[in-house]
Amino acid sequence: MIRVAINGYGTIGKRVADAVAAQPDMKVVGVSKTKPSHEAMVAKARGFPLFIADISKKAAFEKANIPVAGSVEEMLKSADVVVDATPGGVGEKNRPLYEKLGVKAIWQGGEDHEVAGFSFNSDCNYKDAIGRQFVRVVSCNTTGLCRIIQAMDKEYGVEKVRAVMVRRGGDPGDIKRGPIDAVVLNPVTIPSHHGPDVQTVLPHINIVTLAMIVPVTMMHMHVVQMDLKSDASRDRVIQVIEDHPRLGLVRKATGITSTAELKEFAMDLGRFRSDLWENGIFEESVSAIGKELYLFQAIHQEADVVVENVDAIRAMTGIEKDPAKSIAKTNKALNFVAIK
Amino acid sequence: MIRVAINGYGTIGKRVADAVAAQPDMKVVGVSKTKPSHEAMVAKARGFPLFIADISKKAAFEKANIPVAGSVEEMLKSADVVVDATPGGVGEKNRPLYEKLGVKAIWQGGEDHEVAGFSFNSDCNYKDAIGRQFVRVVSCNTTGLCRIIQAMDKEYGVEKVRAVMVRRGGDPGDIKRGPIDAVVLNPVTIPSHHGPDVQTVLPHINIVTLAMIVPVTMMHMHVVQMDLKSDASRDRVIQVIEDHPRLGLVRKATGITSTAELKEFAMDLGRFRSDLWENGIFEESVSAIGKELYLFQAIHQEADVVVENVDAIRAMTGIEKDPAKSIAKTNKALNFVAIK
Amino acid sequence: MIRVAINGYGTIGKRVADAVAAQPDMKVVGVSKTKPSHEAMVAKARGFPLFIADISKKAAFEKANIPVAGSVEEMLKSADVVVDATPGGVGEKNRPLYEKLGVKAIWQGGEDHEVAGFSFNSDCNYKDAIGRQFVRVVSCNTTGLCRIIQAMDKEYGVEKVRAVMVRRGGDPGDIKRGPIDAVVLNPVTIPSHHGPDVQTVLPHINIVTLAMIVPVTMMHMHVVQMDLKSDASRDRVIQVIEDHPRLGLVRKATGITSTAELKEFAMDLGRFRSDLWENGIFEESVSAIGKELYLFQAIHQEADVVVENVDAIRAMTGIEKDPAKSIAKTNKALNFVAIK
Amino acid sequence: MIRVAINGYGTIGKRVADAVAAQPDMKVVGVSKTKPSHEAMVAKARGFPLFIADISKKAAFEKANIPVAGSVEEMLKSADVVVDATPGGVGEKNRPLYEKLGVKAIWQGGEDHEVAGFSFNSDCNYKDAIGRQFVRVVSCNTTGLCRIIQAMDKEYGVEKVRAVMVRRGGDPGDIKRGPIDAVVLNPVTIPSHHGPDVQTVLPHINIVTLAMIVPVTMMHMHVVQMDLKSDASRDRVIQVIEDHPRLGLVRKATGITSTAELKEFAMDLGRFRSDLWENGIFEESVSAIGKELYLFQAIHQEADVVVENVDAIRAMTGIEKDPAKSIAKTNKALNFVAIK
């Protein structure tokens, strides 16, 4: 059993904790929180030992009836791997501690590539992660792009990718972030950073990305256009998506035309937290015109990287050397079959 | 086993179906849908026999790989009780059919009181519903108001209620309804219809309500002010809420200040569909100043009436004559303990 | 003086009326409204004679203290040109009346090309509209696309256009339309209708468009990518935009990164109704990579077609045969100099 | 001519500058900005001399082609009165400078009462401000409450006020602030700070306020309920509003039911920046039941305090000792007649 610590029990951390706990070959040794909150209460309800960065705040937790198991450093000492899901930019500062304690560490996409020196995606470079001490799982948007690009690259070869990301302003539980009534270019300059970020995983891909932020909370929406190296047929593209464990198909018969309805569908299907771990590719949008491919895909910013973190743990510890087997194990433990 | 049909498998209907299926003393004999959709697919996944109003559309369902069990009339013939969860105004038109077939029927709050002649709330008038053929479960907002008013009326006597309802514009999966950036007075006139609607359940209560609509999807927020007949203490009010099976307390220690965080908490706690069947009363807001009481309560428009429908089924069929026992059974079957 | 009637005094109609009234060579003979409202009051305040479609409603207007000048048919008889700004789909039904009365008519982009048989854009085909009886001014999005495509086509030749339109859900004063919290693919299929609509004006342009709707009210945002026939330089592209009377430049020094700030800027500059009649092209976004051009442009859905309607009036009546002169006259009368 | 400096040329400052410039008895000697931006460009376009707090940033402004007239201290030396419209909390830090230079100063409601020691509303305590060196104009919400409370107190006597404020999340041009999809209790505790803030102006008024934030940008909406000391008639209340220079009436005949439509109406009427300087009281909502009064009023957060600042300038300098005359002068110079 791989012993996993989750440093930062927030939007991503709490999901990774549940996903790890569901796996047969790993367990959660602890999660961390900086102050008492409803999420800390959830950790308690789940039975995850709760550790805190600043042990002087122990009384505040106990006053809120939330037991504290110890300091973050103590948590790390009992772990083989730590998943760092602290807010973007904070994770980098934790690296010296992880180095000192010799614990393997996974960062999220909010950190720069350089913090780990290796950026991970299960479909693209699992084997290169085997045995590594430090790995960064790329962001939700980059993960979603890597999956579909890699699938098409294997099938047809990809000459060029142009992608527009229409991003959510904040997560559903985030009450601070806007905008309320604006489309915000983020950045105004072209290209956005997402293209280079895809290249940390797939360095040979020629990609231009543009990004904006809109007042929604549920999912990102991607417009993906690819120039392929050989002619594609729509039927074959859909077949490739159908065969892929983490590419979902939003079928025409569902009548779904939006992120909101797609989340409702995931909810009704009984997915915990209504999570979509897969890319939500809209079947009707898939258009192959000669060597050009167009499609819309919805990306659940809170969820798609969760399964990648689980795979990264397996790769780094070497407990499973075959990416397909890890992906299958991860998915099975979560009862996750991509919608088709 | 009471045999229950759900006519209209949408936002409310799908939740009532799952709640009924979870009860030990009732079962779902069928649900209905007017056209193939993701919700029809969910009915299939749940194993609920699917009936359709217009049998000529059978082919359209089958083309979408959704089997059709028969017509709505056939569904009704196999049922003891039908829960009508069709869109507001449609339910009324179904009454002649229910009368003809002699099936007991429950309508939702989108219909007028007169359609059933009896408006129901588990806490307030369960016993009066025993044996009735037709019952209307009042709307989400009215249900939430009835619960807290009845609780305070039993404890202190209620002289007058003033309530402001800040309503969600549409449900999370609804992509048509606005507003996008406006506060809409609905109605502009004072009082709104909610006060008289409370009086269909609690005729002796003096109540003035005001309502507006804002661009949110998650929950309604109520400002409730009551003039009580005797002095209240904040501690006692909180105690009454703590002891109530369907009044929840959003504790200060959670740090929750909004509808969005409250839904996130319900989600993290593992509530199916992140549903809050209880009133979400904000502990810190409870203020008793002499005979005046103030509080904020969040009302999950998709969920709070679901448990009321289940109780109404028991009352109407007479299978359980004690309201407290029905409420306890309903809650237990859903693993529902109000947050405290 | 060309006599202009405005049939439909709503979002577009009220703006066209003001723009016409500001011109030295035309005047407003009347505007129409179907029921008393704040917009009818504005027509009265402006001194525009108000005509109504259904003369039996005259009493309702008078009760609201809004004088009625007569029927729509009477209004049309006193006009040389009618600008039909009725809701999409209604305009088509008015055509027989316009034919019967022999009045020249302009429809908006909510109608199909076929209703007029000629689709208009001042920059692209002004001369072809000279003397026509029926003209359709293309929609706000199509107008914005035509302007930038035509400008680049004249300079470099355009091989292919790919455009993504992130559309506002409703206008600022529209309280019915959503979505509230969703990205809606509209349509899910690729391409959207906007590409073919551009081709009603610029038939030789190879264009693929995609469109979605988001919960904002202020402006649309376009991602425009073009494959040009010859190498472009960023400086030259910006120069072309600077020289164009209806292409605006949102300069880096403004710090503006969003639709909301751009509207604020137009408001502060004293533009009536904060209108942006020009394309709002973000200077920093303009990227020329060999023969590829990328840019973001904001399109004010309520405003950009207004000046096109004024030009169309001049072309159809033949009062001015030179497009550049009409554009200059229209702009001058509105004190409109595109932001640069 | 009173010489007025505007320290902080943002949402409020830019409006106060324009309002001051429109008055016959005062002029703008300068406005300040901390960095180049579209608002700085607007100051230049208006011809307002621009001063900067940190003179070392002069080059940055000049690079953006915005001339700098000098430092804020220089601006203050040339002024009789400074209107401090810097962000909340910053204004307080400027007090020592104003004291040192002996310039009269006005702060906005984002600062505490103590910063000036006197909180101002034109209707309530103009005469008490005569000759003062330091004055605080209360916030938009408090201003709106003071106006209607004072008007009713003069007519009937006010026993108690209960008010619920449904507040906008951010201003239209603000792209950072949320929430996107939540009702946020702000604060959760009851009462909110608005009641005590009203009492800084009207100390004898018994008032309880509650406040929440919703995802809109256009206006706040108030629910106001008053227990009066004598019976009120609806007609008389409406008459009082009609006779008041800064209480507007949103008439039933307008069909307006929302903040969004009200802003559209103000825009169409030609109000600069679509500003509503008056309370927007919904005629149909005005309900008098014995000694109880209910109404809805919309408050334009960017505008209502602007005219109060102008009056405060006159009171402090003693140039006009009669509040009614100052109010009339201010309104006339802006062509401001409250909608009725």
Closest-CA distance, B120 to chain A, in angstroms, reads 27
CB D171 within 8 A of CB D11: yes
Rounded CA-CA distance A142/A113 in Å is 12
> Residue D325: its pLDDT value, please?
98
Would you say residue C89 has pLDDT above 90?
no
Alpha helices in chain D (DSSP H): 11-22, 38-46, 58-63, 72-77, 90-101, 122-125, 140-155, 194-201, 234-243, 259-268, 304-317, 323-333
Terminal-to-terminal C-alpha distance of chain B: 33
Work out how many CB contacts closer than 8 A connect B with D. 131
Distance CA D320, CA D327 (A): 10
User: Domain map of chain A by residue range?
Assistant: 2-138+305-333, 140-299
* pLDDT tens for each residue of A63-84: 999 999 999 999 999 999 999 9
Residues B334 and B308 sit within 8 Å (Cβ to Cβ): no
- Band (C88; pLDDT cuts 50, 70, 90): confident
- Residues B115/B121/B126/B128 CA torsion (nearest 10 deg): -40
First to last CA, chain A: 33
Residues of A in contact with D188 (CB under 8 A): none
Residue D88's pLDDT is 86
Catalytic positions of D, written as ranges: 140
Q: D interface toward B at CB cutoff 8 Å?
A: 162, 164, 166, 179, 181-191, 208, 210, 212, 214-219, 221, 223, 225, 252, 257-261, 282, 284-285, 287, 289, 294-296, 298
- How far is C17 from C45, CA to CA, in rounded Å? 13
Average pLDDT of the residues of chain C: 97
List CB contacts (< 8 A) between A287 and chain C.
189-191
Nearest residue of chain D to residue B217 (CA atoms): D181
What is the number of residues in chain A?
A: 340
Please state, in angstroms and rounded to a whole number, the distance separating the CA atoms of residues A139 and A301.
Answer: 8
Number of H helices, E strands in chain A: 12, 16
Mean pLDDT value of segment D182-209:
97
- Select from A320, A6, A309, A302 the least CA-distant residue to A167: A302
Counting Cα atoms < 13 Å in the Cβ hemisphere of B319 gives: 19
Residue listed under structure tokens 């316009």: C98
Neighbours of D340 (CB within 10 A): 15
Judging by beta carbons within 10 Å of its beta carbon (0-12, 13-18, 19+), is residue B93 exposed, middle or buried?
exposed
**Is residue C163 a contact partner of residue C225, using CB atoms and an 8 Å limit?**
yes
Helix, strand or coil for residue A45? helix
The reply to whether residue A176 touches residue D177, judged by beta carbons under 8 angstroms, is: yes
Closest-CA distance of chain C to residue D247, Å? 18
User: Who contacts A236 (Cβ-Cβ below 8 Å, separation ≥6)?
Assistant: A155
Active-site entry in B12, B68, B83, B140: B140
pLDDT of amino acid B89: 85
pLDDT of the residue at C85? 98
Residue B27: CA count within 13 A, CB half-sphere: 6
**Superfamily, domain D2-138+305-333:** NAD(P)-binding Rossmann-like Domain (3.40.50.720)
**What residues pair up with A268 in beta bridges, in sequence order?**
none
Kindly compute the dihedral angle of the four CA atoms of residues B246, B252, B255, B261, in this order, to the nearest 10 degrees. Answer: 20
Contact B183, D259 (CB under 8 A): yes
If you average pLDDT over residues D332-340, what whole number do you get?
96
Burial of A230 (0-12, 13-18, 19+ CB in 10 A): exposed
pLDDT digits 0-9 by tens, D31-51: 999 999 999 999 999 999 999
Chains that touch B (3 or more CB pairs under 8 A): A, C, D
D87-96 pLDDT, tens digit each:
988 999 999 9
Interface of B with A (CB under 8 A): 14, 36-39, 41-42, 45, 63-65, 172-175, 180-181, 217-218, 253-258, 260-261, 263-265, 267-270, 272-274
Q: Which residues pair with A223 in a beta bridge?
A: A164, A296
For residue C237, give Cα distances in angstroms to C135, C152, C246.
Answer: 31, 8, 14
Q: What is the pLDDT of residues D112-152, one digit of tens each?
A: 999 999 999 999 999 999 999 999 999 999 999 999 999 99
The per-residue pLDDT for D333 is 98
What does the pLDDT average to over C55-61? 95
Residue C124 has pLDDT above 90, yes or no: yes
Question: Could you tell me which chains touch chain D, where touching means 3 or more CB pairs under 8 A?
Answer: A, B, C
For B216, the closest of C180, C182, C184 (CB atoms) is: C180
Exposed, middle or buried by CB within 10 Å (0-12, 13-18, 19+), for A155? middle
Q: How far apart are CA B337 and CA B278, in angstroms?
A: 9
The residue-averaged pLDDT of C98-112 equals 98
pLDDT over 90, % of chain D: 99
Give the Cα separation of B235 and D217 in Å (integer): 38
pLDDT at B88: 86
User: How far apart are alpha carbons C246 and C226 in whole angstroms?
Assistant: 19
Tell me which of D185, D219, D259, D281 to substitute to probe the interface with B (most B C-beta atoms closer than 10 Å). D185
C140-299 maps to which CATH number? Answer: 3.30.360.10
Nearest chain B Cα distance for residue A69, angstroms: 19
Q: Chains near A, with 3+ CB pairs < 8 A? A: B, C, D
The pLDDT tens digits of the residues spanning A265-278 come to 999 999 999 999 99
**First-to-last C-alpha distance (Å) of chain C:** 33
CA distance D295 to D277: 18
Whether A330 and A23 have beta carbons less than 8 Å apart is answered as yes
DSSP C177: B
Is there a contact between D166 and B212 (Cβ–Cβ < 8 Å)? yes
Amino acid type, D9: Y
Q: How far is CA A74 from CA A51, C20, C21, D204, in A?
A: 8, 75, 77, 59
Q: Would you list the DSSP string of C109-127?
A: TTS-GGGTS-EE-HHHHTG
* Beta-carbon count within 10 A of B28 CB: 23
> pLDDT tens digits for A74-126?
999 999 999 999 998 899 999 999 999 999 999 999 999 999 999 999 999 99
Is residue A87 within 8 A of residue A11, CB to CB? The reply is: no
Tokens of C225: 């990518």
Q: What is the pLDDT of residue A89?
A: 85
User: Which contiguous run of DSSP H or E holds residue C60?
Assistant: helix C58-63
Q: Which two tokens stand for residue A286?
A: 């898939």
| DSSP category for residue D118 | -
Test the D interface: residue of C268, C272, C275, C300 with most D CBs within 10 Å? C268
Report how far Cα B305 is from the mean position of its chain's Cα atoms: 1
CA gap C66, C71 in Å, rounded: 14
C282 — phi, psi (to 5°)?
Answer: -80, 115
Residue D300 Cα to chain centre, angstroms: 8
Q: Does C238 have pLDDT greater than 90?
A: yes
| pLDDT tens digits along B183-231 | 999 999 999 999 999 999 999 999 999 999 999 999 999 999 999 999 9
- With contacts defined as CB-CB under 8 Å, which chain C residues touch D265? 38, 41-42
pLDDT value of position D89: 85
| The predicted structure's pLDDT at residue A334 | 97
Determine the average pLDDT of the residues in C117-130. Answer: 98
Contact assessment for residue D11 and residue D173, using Cβ atoms and an 8 Å cutoff = yes
List, for residues A300-320, the tens digit of each pLDDT value: 999 999 999 999 999 999 999
Number of helices (H), then strands (E), in chain C: 12, 16
Q: Which pLDDT band holds residue C285 (cuts at 50, 70, 90)?
A: very high
Report the predicted TM-score, pTM, of the whole model to 2 decimal places.
0.98
Residue to test with chain D: of C264, C274, C335, most D Cβ within 10 A: C264
Q: What is the mean pLDDT of each run of 10 residues along chain B (340 residues)?
A: 98 98 98 96 98 94 96 98 94 97 98 97 98 98 98 98 98 97 98 96 98 98 98 97 98 97 98 97 96 98 98 98 98 96
Whole-angstrom CA distances from D292 to C26, D153, D161, D233, D243 are: 55, 13, 10, 10, 21
Between CA B37 and CA B35 the distance in angstroms is 6
Output the six-digit token pair for C102.
């022999």
In this structure, chain C runs to a length of 340
How many Cβ pairs closer than 8 A exist between chain B and C?
56
Q: Supply the Cα-derived Rg of chain A in whole angstroms.
A: 20
- Which H/E stretch holds residue A18? helix A11-22
Closest CA to C91 of C114, C68, C70, C69: C114
pLDDT confidence bin for A201, thresholds 50/70/90:
very high
Residues whose CB falls within 8 Å of the CB of residue A32, separated by 6 or more in sequence, listed in order: A5, A6, A7, A8, A9, A50, A51, A52, A53, A72, A75
Token pair 């009618």: residue: C82
Cα separation values, D94 from A77, D73, D107, Å: 51, 11, 10
Name the percent of chain B in helix, strand, coil, to the closest 5: 40, 25, 35
How many angstroms separate the CA atoms of A140 and A110, rounded?
10
Confidence grade of residue D5 (pLDDT, cut at 50, 70, 90) = very high
Q: pLDDT grade, residue D160 (50/70/90)?
A: very high
In chain A, % helix, strand, coil (3-state, to 5) comes to 40, 25, 35
Task: Find tokens 């479909």 and name the residue.
Answer: A123
Token code pair at residue C262: 């751009």
The minimum CA-CA distance between A116 and chain C, rounded to whole Å, is 31
Using left for φ > 0, alpha for ψ between -120 and 50, and beta otherwise, residue B45 falls in alpha
**How many CB atoms sit inside 10 A of residue C290's CB?**
10
